[in-house]
Amino acid sequence: MSLETSFDFARVFDEHEDLIQRIKAERLFWLQLREWGVPDFGQMGLRLHDLRDRLADHLHHEERLEDEVEQHGAGAAFSLVAGRQRQEHQALLARLDGIIGRLEGCGSGFDCWGEAGEAFETFAGDLQEHEEDELRELRKFRI
């Protein structure tokens, strides 16, 4: 089944690529802040709120596409991939919400900054892997 003609497919495909680049940029930004040794809780919190909004929008578009494809008789392979990935979406958003909450609760201490940084790096790696896996799966349906 070719999904190439679907605007939603192209949109979700592009969003995956954009989101992967955004994740890499946030990881680099966090690394630079750590190297400078000056925690910027406010700036990082704002950036993560923006990332969360973009991620939530992307996941919504992705799930709409999955629903549309399933309505048009997608194969079992697509349905299996879609179901597995959908289960991860809410968990990813919840993890990011937890990191944002941790940053918002941080005082001026470096311990909190370090813990939040480690949590973010782990999350960002997992999110990047998730998005790259989905992108590989989407490429299988592109002709």
**What pLDDT, in 10s, does the model give residues 64-110?**
877 776 776 655 555 555 666 777 888 999 999 999 988 887 766 65
Render pLDDT for 17-58 as a digit per residue (tens, 0 to 9).
999 999 999 999 888 877 777 667 778 888 999 999 999 998
Note down the domain range covering 93.
7-140
**Number of domains the chain is built from:** 1
> What is the average pLDDT score of the chain?
80
103 domain-assigned = yes
What is the rounded distance in angstroms from the CA atom of residue 14 to the CA atom of residue 16?
A: 5
In contact, 19 and 54? CB cutoff 8 Å? yes
Q: What's the pTM value of the predicted model, to 2 decimals?
A: 0.79
Q: Is residue 21 part of a domain?
A: yes
Specify if 2 maps to a domain. Answer: no
Q: Is residue 49 part of a domain?
A: yes
In a domain, residue 1? The reply is: no
Q: What is the pLDDT of residue 94?
A: 95
d(CA 53, CA 118): 21
Residue 91 included in any domain: yes
Residue 31 lies in a domain: yes
Q: Which residues of 69-108 are buried (b: 16+ CB within 10 A; e: fewer)?
A: beeeebeeebeebbeebeeebeebeebbeebbebbeebee
Q: Cα(20)–Cα(8) distance, rounded to whole angstroms?
A: 18
Q: Which residue has the higher pLDDT, 41 or 2?
A: 41
Tell me which of 131 and 8 has the higher pLDDT.
131
